[in-house]
Amino acid sequence: MSARITCIALVLVLGGALLLALGNLATAEQSALHASPYVISLAGKYLCYAILALAVDLVWGFAGILSLGHAAFFALGGYAMGMYLMREIGARGVYGNPVLPDFMVFLNWKTLPWYWHGFNIPGFALLMVVLVPGVLALVFGYLAFRSRVTGVYLSIITQALTYALLLAFFRNDMGFGGNNGMTDFKDMFGLPLQLDRTRDVLMLASAVALSLCLLLARFVVHSRFGKVLIAVRDSESRTRFLGYRPENYKLVVFVLSAVMAGIGGALYVPQVGIINPSEFAPANSIEAVIWVAVGGRGTLVGAVLGAVLVNLGKTYFTGALPELWLFALGALFVLVTLFLPRGIMGLLPVRAEMPLPRAPAPAQAAASEAGPEGVAGADFGR
Amino acid sequence: MSHPIGAVSETLLYLNGVTVSFDGFRALNSLSLVLEPGEMRAIIGPNGAGKTTMMDVITGKTRPDEGSVVFGADTDLTKLDEPAIAALGIGRKFQKPTVFEPHTVWDNLLLALAGDRRPRFTLLARETPSERRRIEEILATIRLTEQRHRRAGDLSHGQKQWLEIGMLLAQQPQLLLVDEPVAGMTDAETAQTAELLREINRTRGVVVVEHDMHFVRALGVKVTVLHEGSVLSEGSIDHVSADPKVVEVYLGR
Ligand SMILES: Nc1ncnc2c1ncn2[C@@H]1O[C@H](COP(=O)(O)OP(=O)(O)OP(=O)(O)O)[C@@H](O)[C@H]1O
Ligand SMILES: [Mg+2]
């Protein structure tokens, strides 16, 4: 059953992206079927958010890791891509320096910082898109999971992580453009970013990346590994007495998820044309969790659906009633939590990708002998 | 496995002067206990006697302040953590049944089945015919063949207890620790559980903690009475129930 839902989602994502691209390229501007560049870039953005949502669902829905800092991995992937795009500008910048990006010339820097080397090579930059979020997740996860930090405490430190990165990237002397970040990109892999064709390709690439991430995530959660992961989510200490090492399972899925988020961020940056420290804002990570909750935690496809629908709403609201958006988002979250604990996917007459456990009575969860993570692990962290 | 067939040692498990304190309160007080290979032992004792804490120490959940726990010939369990101890062949059933509720009965057994526990293996693992055969066997032993495709969360209390025992069997442990297996069971289920444990005991050592005296009597094995963290009395059920110290502890309150 859930296989059919995944197929439908793939058809919608890939078919929809293809139709939009055709609508942009093959129709006249006056045509009713014409998709404007604005629509294309919006669709591309939503697809990248959907990749982030998928990454969040993978750790939250299936391993019980409520990460409130996942946008950090998204932003790091974005920065890695931004660094490539900056180097790609070359001598076409305002100051005409063939090596140094404009903001460095502005700061009177004479040489390129060591960590900017190599980013002029596309392959290296793409490697960093994957490696930087992956390695950070590996180190962070290793320390957190090995010391058995779970539940609310884990959520808090993920939030602290993204906040620390926000502050760090704000600093000019970090060498990432400080407050303003990076922008004014010219082209990517030789294709001018201003061209409709390039934007269509990027949007299509995002759809393909999302589809591949969805298939990979599905493979992971349906494997025996995924079954262990769900066992860890529901009673971590029990899996330990069965001889599994929950910390290793969480680490693998956390790194995989961070890499996915990084890829989403890397596709996002050329489409929106800018990356700055605000992408690390804690609120961004929390929004991503809301997308997943709205779509349906632990359903994968629901995460994609939630990301697209909530962002459609956001686009509409921020255009029509900007001051109301945050209230609407808050209300949506409260309503979904109260009335749709399984999100929109819970309304469909099909089995979830991996059903969540029936919520135990709080006292029972806290008293559960097999769960020393008891209270901290209750409800949200589970 | 540290316990190759043929190299039978004198004892399966040896607790020597184990002490565990929680904020100055001694849950275990210089507890010593010897279990022979293939033995089944019943542990009884009033609430708070330290029975569960003893299991926590054996399985690596709690580190003792003093004393040693030796498994087989010379493995000191106090140096190992839970997964390592599980891998040595010590299985544990909790006081509250803890099965993986969203998974089917079949998948619960599959996850418990002895085998490679590393992510790199489980990511690509496929169910093999021999795994399937093992699961079928266990399903028959724990009388859950009919329920194999049901969610474990939908089973009755007694069925969950059996499923958990089945998961222990799937681990193929040499030593099974079972905490209050018949709590909340009907009389018929209790009798079936006693039978099941005797069957299990044919091939492995078993330690059963239980309050239910009828059940302990039905098992017909050596009994250890714990009180305030150490052994109060040991012997046959008739011997210990006639022991004045035991009578005092059970009736004198
Ligand atoms: N983690 C802990 N922190 C503090 N005290 C504890 C802890 N675990 C157990 N105790 C105390 O240690 C004593 C022994 O507890 P234990 O659970 O081993 O008893 P038990 O014999 O299993 O009792 P029951 O028959 O009720 O299951 C109790 O007084 C208990 O309150
Ligand atoms: Mg107990």
What ipTM is given for this predicted complex? 0.85
CB proximity list for A207: less than 8 A, separation 6 or greater: A13, A14, A16, A17, A18, A47
Q: What is the pLDDT of residue B114?
A: 84
pLDDT for A188-198, tens place per residue? Answer: 998 999 899 99
Tell me if B229 CB under 6 Å of ligand 1.
Answer: no
Q: Which chain A residues contact residue B87 at CB under 8 A?
A: 243
**A227: which chain B residues are within 8 Å (Cβ-Cβ)?**
103, 107, 110-111, 122
pLDDT tier at B188 (50, 70, 90 boundaries)?
confident
**Under 8 Å CB-to-CB from A115, ≥6 apart: which residues?**
A175
CB A136 within 8 A of CB A254: no
Those residues with Cβ within 8 angstroms of residue A164's Cβ, 6 or more apart along the chain or in another chain: none
**pLDDT value of residue B129:** 95
Decide: B53 in ligand 1 pocket, CB within 6 A. yes
**Nearest CB partner across the interface for A227, out of B83, B95, B103:** B103
Q: What is the pLDDT of residues A144-187, one digit of tens each?
A: 999 999 889 999 999 999 999 999 999 999 999 999 999 999 99
Q: What is the pLDDT of residue A371?
A: 37
Q: What is the mean pLDDT of residues B43-56?
A: 92
Distance from CA of B146 to the nearest CA of A (A): 22
Using an 8 Å Cβ cutoff, are B217 and B50 in contact? no
Partners of residue B22 on adjacent β-strands: B25
Hey, what's the torsion of the CAs at B27, B32, B37, B43, to 10 degrees?
A: -50
**What is the pLDDT at residue B203?**
87
In B50-186, alpha helices (H): 51-58, 82-88, 105-112, 119-122, 129-141, 157-170
Q: How does pLDDT run across B51-65, given as a tens digit for each residue?
A: 999 999 999 999 999
Task: Tell me how far apart the alpha carbons of residues A200 and B44 are, in angstroms, rounded to a whole number.
Answer: 73
Mode of pairing for the β-strands spanning B40-44 and B205-209: parallel
Is there a contact between A302 and A345 (Cβ–Cβ < 8 Å)?
yes
CB pairs under 8 A between A and B: 88
Is 50 exceeded by the pLDDT of residue B216? yes
| B105 neighbors B163 (Cβ within 8 angstroms) | yes
Q: DSSP H helical segments within chain A, as ranges? A: 2-25, 37-63, 70-89, 102-106, 122-146, 151-170, 196-222, 224-234, 236-241, 246-272, 282-295, 301-320, 325-339, 362-367, 374-377
Strands B175-179 and B90-93: parallel
- Which residues of A fall below an 8 Å CB-CB distance to B? 220, 223-225, 227-228, 230-231, 234-235, 237-245, 248-249, 252, 354-358, 368-370
Average pLDDT over residues B211-239: 90
Q: What's the pLDDT at A214?
A: 97
Choosing from B28, B51, B93 the residue with most ligand 1 atoms within 8 A of its CB, the one to mutate for a pocket test is B51
- Indicate if ligand 1 lies below 6 Å from the C-beta of B230: no
Residues 6+ apart with CB under 8 A from A148: A247, A373
Q: Identify the pLDDT of residue A350.
A: 57
Q: How far is the CA of B195 from the centre of ligand 2 (A)?
A: 22
Nearest by CB: B102 against A244, A356, A369: A356
Task: Verify whether ligand 1 is closer than 6 Å to residue B48 (CB atom).
Answer: yes
In a 3-state reduction of DSSP, which class is residue A372? coil
| Ligand 1 pocket residue status of B47, Cβ below 6 Å | yes
Statement: residue B8 has pLDDT above 60: no
Chain A, nearest residue to B88 by Cα: A243
Q: Which of A228, A245, A370 sits opposite B111 (nearest CB)?
A: A228
Q: Quick one: pLDDT at residue A361?
A: 40
pLDDT, chain B, mean = 89
State the pLDDT at residue B252: 60
pLDDT at A211: 97
pLDDT of residue A375: 33
- Ligand 1 atom nearest to CA at B211: 25
CA of B27 to the centre of ligand 1 (A): 6
- B82 vs A contacts (CB less than 8 Å): 237, 240-241
- Spans in chain A with pLDDT lower than 70: 1, 349-382
Question: Tokens 């990301």 identify what position?
Answer: A307
Any A CB within 8 A of B122 CB: yes
- Structural contact between residues A129 and A262, judged by C-beta atoms closer than 8 angstroms: yes
Model confidence at B206: pLDDT above 90: yes
Contact flag A230-B123 (C-beta cutoff 8 Å): no
Q: Chain A residues with CB inside 8 Å of B61's CB?
A: 237, 241
- Which ligand has the nearest atom to the CA of B48? 1
